[in-house]
Structures are given as C-alpha cells and as structure tokens.
Amino acid sequence: MIWKDGRLTDEYCGLLLEACRQTAHAQVEPEHFVLTLLEPADGSLRRECRRLAPTINPDAFLESFRQSARSLRIAAPPSSSWSDTLLTVASRKLLDEAVRSPEWNDGLADRFIAAAALEKLPPRIANSFGYAGIPLDRLIAALRLPPAADGPQPTFNAAGKLNPALFSKSGRAVLHTIEQEGKENGLVRVGTPLLLFALASQPGSELEKGLRLQPAVRFHDLLESLRTHLRGLSKGRFNDELSLIRDQMQPVVVRTFERAVRTAADRDPPLASEADIGAALLNEEDSFVRGFLESRSVDVGRLSGFLAGRRPEAETPDEEVRKLPPLAEVEVRLRRNIVGQDHVIDTLIPFLKRIWFGYTRKRRPLGVLLFLGASGTGKTQLAREIAREVYGSEDRLLFFEMGQFGTEQSKNVFVGAPQGYVGYGEGLLTNGLKNNPESVVLFDEVEKAHRSVFDVLLRFLDEGVIADPAGPVRDGRRCFIILTSNHSVEKLSELIRMQSQAARGNGAMRERVRSDIRNELVRSKLFRPEFVNRMDELVLFNSLGESAFRTILALELESETRRLLEEKNVTVTFDPSVVEGLAKICAKRHDEGARLCGNLISTLVVPAIIDFFVDDANRGVRSARVAAGSDESMLVTAAGSDA
C-alpha cells in the first residue's frame, strides 16, 4: 500500500528513499515514483507496460530507466530518514493532481500517482518509454482508468502483434527462433515451413521426441531438409522488417497460434507450450506440413496424438536478467586495468553510455573501433574488459588472429566455403556469430588479412550482418567490433601525443587528429579508404613509460599476493624497491610492452619466493618480505614465523 489516511505510507516513503539512493539524488523527483511503481512484478504500472508492449523485458527496462534517472541529475545522497521536505516542487504537484482526480480512491492510488508522475518526467527520461516501444500517452490514459476486468487476452493485440505473454518458456523459444531464422534467411512472411523448422529445431522439444519415437524417421536428415528448404525461400539479405504480426503470417500460422492459446486457456498457468503449437499446426492439415512429413516417413496421425497428449512440465524461471553495473564504476575499473591510456577510455565512454541508456544504433553494430599502437600497450586487454563489463564475461570475446587469414583461400575458413567444397558450414566468423550474437568481436592485427577477407569484412563493419554460404545471414548488430593493428606505429608517434592531448580538448582538435590518422593510414596503402571510413573511431594507444610500468607491476604483484594466500596460505609483502627495480628494467625494454611485467615477475620474483618457502631452514614460516637485490636478484626474508 502506498497511500493511507491522506498521506504516503511509511513503507512507501522508505522505497522512495531507496530509489533516491540508487540514483544519487538528494530529493524525491517524479522519476523516483516511477521507479518504485515499476518494481513490483504484479504492480499496475508494470502490467500496463506489458499490455502495451508485450515483448518488453520488464526487468531490463527497469534497469535502463534507473540508469537514465541516474544520469540526468547527480547530487548528494538523501537523508537516511523521511520528511516531507524531501519532496521537490514537482513531486508535491504530482501528488496533489493525483488526489484531485475525480476517480481517486486509496485502492487505485498506485495507478493515479504513476500517471501523474509520468506526466512530470523530464523529456530525456520520458523518452525511455518510447525507446522501449511503450506509447507514453496511451500508458498515462490507461492508468487513469480503473483496471480492465479480468478475461482472456486476445492472441493478437489491436495492432496485430502476437502477444508472447500468452506463451510458456518453450513456446516463447519457438517464437524467438521464428523471428531470428526468418530475419537471417531474409524471409518476408512467416509460413508453415518456418514454423515447422522452429518447432523441430528446439533442443529436446516435444516434436523432436515424437519424431524420434518413429523408427522409420531419420530426424537429423529431416531437420537438414527443412533447413535446405528455408534456404531456397531465402532472399539472400537480412530482413529486419520481419516480425510476429498478423499481416506477415500465412492464415494457417495465425490459426495455429490462436488454437494453441485456446488449448492452454483452461490450464494453470494458461500458457501455450511448444507442444500446444505443434499439435495445433498438425491439426490444421496444411498441405506443406503433411506432404513434407509424409515424404520423410512420418506417421502424421501418430505424431499429432503424441503432441496432443503431452502435458507441459512445470516452468523453470527464466535466467535472471543481468543488471549492468553503474557506469561510473565501470569507468573506474577500466582506468585501473588499462594503464596509461586514459584518452582511449575517454573515447570509449560515449559508446558505453549508449548501451547503458538502451539506445543503440539501428542496423549497425554497437561500435566499430580500430585500435592502433605498439604490441603490449593494452589493445587486446581492453577488448577483454569490454566483454566483461558489457556482456558479463571475458568468454563473450570472439577472437580472430587475422594472420591466419592471409591467403585468398582462407576466406573459406573465415566465413565458410560454398556448398560442395571443403569447409562448407564451418566458417569461424559466421558460426561464432550464430553461437554468440552478443559479444565483442576482435580482429587482431587486421592488416595481415588477405584483400578478399577485407572485402568480406566491409559489409559486416557497416551493417553488422554477414552472409553464411551454409545458411542465413548472420546478425552481429548486438556486437562490439574491435580491430587492432601495430602498423605504422613509428609514423604515428607524433599523432599519439596529439590525440592524448585532444581527448579531453575541444571537438575541432579531436577531428583534426582523427583526420590526420585517417590520412596516414590511407597513405600507407595498407588500408583502403572505404575500409577506414567504416570505423567509428581511430584510437592510438600510448607507448608505456616508466610510470605506467610501475602501476602495472603493482597490480601484478597484488594479484600474486592474493593467489599465494589463497592457494598456499602464505603471506608475502613487497618492498617498494621491487617495483622500482622492475620498472627500470621495463623502461629499458619498453618495446616489449606490458607483457614484460608479467614475464619479469614469473622469472625473477616468483622463483625467489618458492626457493625461500621450500628451503628446510624456513620450515613453518608463513610470512615473507621481498626486496630488490643487486643484478636483478630478489632477496626474500622471513617477515614472521609460525611454529
């Protein structure tokens, strides 16, 4: 309850304070009312958003809205206790307007307060609803009315969009496959071949089980035949316009979904499963479906009976939506882990802001960046950091060492060979995107690739999609694309210094440096103009100096300290002379880059520590201190002992 006896309840005031804390505001603004009312899974605001935009992910939208609210006004944290003085003028007005509504009553307080708060949102935050496909004016109007009476929801809404909320987890998986495969194959209509393929291709689906129960059916061959049939219908280009709307479906597909929803209506929960969709499709007596299955020795009547008798298993919860960490924290971690390249992080932050705001570019990858600089300056490491921060894990990095694609024939390894040739269906990039459509794609030392591979890359860098000779067009528009090169580093040294100064300077200076970098790359004749023009940013990495080496060494030694304590239960501390001595070595051999830091620790520091602890004279000692000796040696002494 948020309203009682003419005022906000104490419990709800506590929620408003927490919303202020999450967004670093000192007072309660209209957006905080929206945040608290979006939170409850059964709340009116969330229900109305789902009704108007059935495909929305409420948890992801809530997090996006929270980030938008945080980025608008940054202030001191609020008081730890509630008082009405924490309400801004706009917040007081929205409460007054809600209470004055003719239909107001305590039971509908959440609806009317939500409507009033939405009307008071700053435009930048209000736009979050439009980006998510929620018409804000219709949402406000719906909230000002009492909730609609309970009853069955239509399979298609007024705009003709299929309502995925009527389908179980397995049913929604079928819907997702229909959209993805249809778009990638360039289809303009959802027909029964695509629907049958989406049903059969679900791992462990009820349709697959029913087919495998028939001994005469070779399931793998049947699925491949369906896949081949879809390729024959393909238009050869990615079709971003295909959607699950009535006008883009064959009538038999529309009837199939409606029948499946009716079948599930009397169950608890009343959600149509993959088996319901399959049974409904077979009941339609579609000529393609029946003819195709019978030509593969399928007893259609037996399969239909099997699916009709399947009861859906209990739904397992969907995987928890990964919440993006606060962008300010991400920036701190990036600057800590990528040493000596603050200007590079400055260039990257605008791309991350778009992702955090949930406003990515249409028909383009999330970002296309060319990292230039000497080996060991942090180019590949930054790609790993982006994968961890944006996608949650370093495993979401698709790494391609472009030196292995230096011949014309290697193009067949890169994207797959034409049908009938060795390598058909085995393209590294195309299969990588198929399995990881949301990832960082890193093309390392891209200058080493053959011209034919560059030709393949042009469309991918521009549109984010790439044709697979063995299947549909693969979609990489949810990917962050990074290319690295250490070509012409000597010629770019002066520009490296200028870019470092320009990163925090005015836009004109940045554009001048970018133009100079582009001209140098084109003049080298290694990168063609049309290739360079597809880069969103050309980023030069600084060569590392002694100060940067000190920072990297300190981080590496800190990591070794943690590992020794965790794995060997020994405590090791380091005298400042260790970092100073190793940093001087690194500075003399700076061309080897940051990797030298780890190598020196592995060859000079760790062996000395091991020698100390395995020495019989130090039996029982659990703590040691390391200092630098002469001639690059390390002196390890007991810092305390445990008998």
Cα–Cα distance for residue pair 239/243, rounded to 1 Å: 10
Q: pLDDT-based confidence at 642, cuts 50/70/90?
A: very low
Residue 81: predicted pLDDT:
80
Q: What is the mean pLDDT of residues 100-106?
A: 70
Are residues 291 and 405 both part of a single domain? no
pLDDT in tens, 511-562: 777 788 888 888 877 788 999 899 999 888 888 888 899 999 999 999 999 9
Are residues 528 and 551 both part of a single domain? no
Residue 150: predicted pLDDT:
47
Q: Is residue 229 part of a domain?
A: yes
Q: pLDDT-based confidence at 3, cuts 50/70/90?
A: confident
Are residues 110 and 127 both part of a single domain? yes
Q: What is the CA radius of gyration of the chain?
A: 30
Are residues 275 and 415 both part of a single domain? no
Mean pLDDT, the chain, rounded, equals: 85
C-alpha 296, offset from chain centre: 40
Q: Is residue 320 part of a domain?
A: no
Are residues 286 and 205 both part of a single domain? yes
Q: What is the mean pLDDT of residues 573-586?
A: 92
CATH of the domain at 480: 3.40.50.300
Q: Give the range of the structural domain holding residue 74, as residue numbers without chain letter.
A: 3-143
Are residues 199 and 87 both part of a single domain? no
Q: Is residue 154 part of a domain?
A: no
User: E strands, 564-622, where?
Assistant: 571-574
| Region of poorest pLDDT, from 22-36, 459-473, 617-631 | 459-473
Are residues 345 and 393 both part of a single domain? yes
Are residues 337 and 471 both part of a single domain? yes
Are residues 498 and 554 both part of a single domain? no
Q: Is residue 273 part of a domain?
A: yes
Instruction: Indicate the DSSP class of residue 244.
Output: S
Residue 103: predicted pLDDT:
67
End position of a domain, from candidates 521, 540, 559: 540
Residue 314: predicted pLDDT:
53
Amino acid at the residue 532: V
Q: What is the mean pLDDT of residues 251-262?
A: 94
For the chain, percent of residues with pLDDT exceeding 90: 34
Residue 73 has pLDDT above 70, yes or no: no
Residue 148: predicted pLDDT:
54
Q: What is the mean pLDDT of residues 293-299?
A: 93
Cα–Cα distance for residue pair 370/229, rounded to 1 Å: 39
Residue 124: predicted pLDDT:
77
Spatial neighbors of 222 by CB under 8 A, at least 6 apart, are 200, 211, 296, 298
Q: What is the mean pLDDT of residues 617-631?
A: 88
Q: pLDDT-based confidence at 118, cuts 50/70/90?
A: very high
Residue 572: predicted pLDDT:
92
CB atoms inside a 10 Å sphere around CB 40: 13
Are residues 347 and 456 both part of a single domain? yes
pLDDT in tens, 398-408: 999 999 999 98
Residue 641: predicted pLDDT:
45
Cα–Cα distance for residue pair 440/394, rounded to 1 Å: 9
Cα–Cα distance for residue pair 136/518, rounded to 1 Å: 43
The pTM is what?
Answer: 0.62
Amino acid at the residue 214: Q
Residue 494: predicted pLDDT:
66
Q: What angle do CA 605, 609, 613 make, to 5 degrees?
A: 170
Instruction: Indicate the DSSP class of residue 615.
Output: S
Tokens 């250490």 found at:
486
Cα–Cα distance for residue pair 99/410, rounded to 1 Å: 70
Cα–Cα distance for residue pair 163/244, rounded to 1 Å: 9
Q: Where are the alpha helices (DSSP H) in 160-218?
A: 169-184, 192-200, 206-212
Q: Is residue 337 part of a domain?
A: yes
End position of a domain, from candidates 524, 540, 556: 540
Amino acid at the residue 327: L
DSSP 443-476: EETGGGS-HHHHHHHHHHHHHSEEE-TTSSEEE-
Q: What share of the chain is helix, strand, coil (3-state, %, to 5)?
A: 55, 10, 35
CA-nearest of 582, 630, 580 to 603 is 582
pLDDT in tens, 316-344: 544 444 667 888 889 999 999 998 888 89
Cα–Cα distance for residue pair 124/132, rounded to 1 Å: 13
CA-nearest of 519, 492, 411, 418 to 458 is 411
Residue 493: predicted pLDDT:
65
Are residues 409 and 516 both part of a single domain? yes
Amino acid at the residue 321: V
End position of a domain, from candidates 523, 540, 557: 540
Q: pLDDT-based confidence at 74, cuts 50/70/90?
A: very low
Spatial neighbors of 636 by CB under 8 A, at least 6 apart, are 608, 609, 611, 612, 624, 625, 626
Spatial neighbors of 631 by CB under 8 A, at least 6 apart, are none
Cα–Cα distance for residue pair 321/493, rounded to 1 Å: 44
CB 293 within 8 A of CB 300: yes
Residue 149: predicted pLDDT:
47
Q: Among positive and negative, which fits the CA dihedral 615, 619, 622, 626?
A: negative
Cα–Cα distance for residue pair 255/248, rounded to 1 Å: 13
Q: What is the mean pLDDT of residues 65-72?
A: 73
3-state secondary structure string across 313-376: CCCCCCCCCCCCCCHHHHHHHHHHHCCCCHHHHHHHHHHHHHHHHCCCCCCCCCEEEEEECCCC
Q: Is residue 76 part of a domain?
A: yes
More confident: 14 or 506: 14
Residue 416 has pLDDT above 80, yes or no: yes
Residue 245: predicted pLDDT:
93
Query: How many domains does the chain fold into?
Result: 4
Cα–Cα distance for residue pair 484/488, rounded to 1 Å: 12
Are residues 139 and 118 both part of a single domain? yes
Q: Is residue 340 part of a domain?
A: yes
CB 338 within 8 A of CB 378: yes
Residue 273 has pLDDT above 70, yes or no: yes
For the chain, percent of residues with pLDDT exceeding 70: 90
CATH of the domain at 121: 1.10.1780.10
CA-nearest of 23, 28, 27, 1 to 12 is 1
Q: Is residue 157 part of a domain?
A: no
| Region of poorest pLDDT, from 184-193, 261-270, 438-447 | 261-270
**H or E element, residue 441:** strand 440-444
Alpha carbon of 190 to those of 52, 178, 245: distances in Å?
A: 23, 8, 9
Residue 312: predicted pLDDT:
65
